């Protein structure tokens, strides 16, 4: 069974450009989460989807960030326009719904975003 897959693994862009990160969760997982680690800081929660609905987006830093999960399968996280402070590693995680979740979130390898 494939794990959580993230694309690209590394992205280098200039300030003001747009970048779109993609996450493919484990097949059948209704829950999808985005987290971010800015250099030198802890990994922080961004938002949580249940299927295609945003359950909790309290961690989104500002309106330059837009997350979508059309059809409840893969998700994209767009940053437009990117700023220097957006640099970091963006992680995606997924888990099944309800009791099957067993309280565990499964993580991808992350996308390293460098804004120059």
Partner 1 sequence: AQSVTQLDSHVSVSEGTPVLLRCNYSSSYSPSLFWYVQHPNKGLQLLLKYTSAATLVKGINGFEAEFKKSETSFHLTKPSAHMSDAAEYFCVVRPPLGFGNEKLTFGTGTRLTIIP
Can residue 1 be called a binding residue for partner 1 (CB under 8 A)? no
**Alpha helices, H only, the chain:** none
Return the number of the residue (47 or 82) whose C-beta is nearest partner 1.
Answer: 47
Backbone angles phi, psi at 2, to 5 degrees: -70, 145
Q: Which of 69, 91, 94, 111 binds partner 1 (CB under 8 A)?
A: 91
Can residue 74 be called a binding residue for partner 1 (CB under 8 A)? no
| Strands 5-7 and 88-95, sheet pairing | unpaired
β-strand partners of 49: 32, 54
Can residue 104 be called a binding residue for partner 1 (CB under 8 A)? yes
Q: Identify the CA nearest to 87 among candidates 71, 107, 66, 110.
A: 110
Q: Which of 7, 13, 87, 106 binds partner 1 (CB under 8 A)?
A: 106
Q: Which of 11, 31, 94, 111 binds partner 1 (CB under 8 A)?
A: 31
């Amino acid at each position: 069974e494939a794990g959580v897959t993230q694309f690209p693994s590394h992205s280098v862009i200039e300030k003001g450009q747009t970048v779109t990160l993609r996450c493919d969760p484990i097949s059948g997982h209704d829950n999808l989460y985005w987290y971010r680690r800015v250099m030198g800081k802890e990994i922080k929660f961004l938002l949580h989807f249940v299927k295609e609905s945003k359950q909790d987006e309290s961690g989104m830093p500002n309106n330059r960030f837009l997350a979508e999960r059309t059809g409840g399968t893969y998700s994209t996280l767009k940053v437009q326009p990117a700023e220097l402070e957006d640099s970091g590693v963006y992680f995606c995680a997924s888990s099944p719904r309800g009791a099957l979740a067993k309280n565990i979130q499964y993580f991808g390898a992350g996308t390293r975003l460098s804004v120059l």
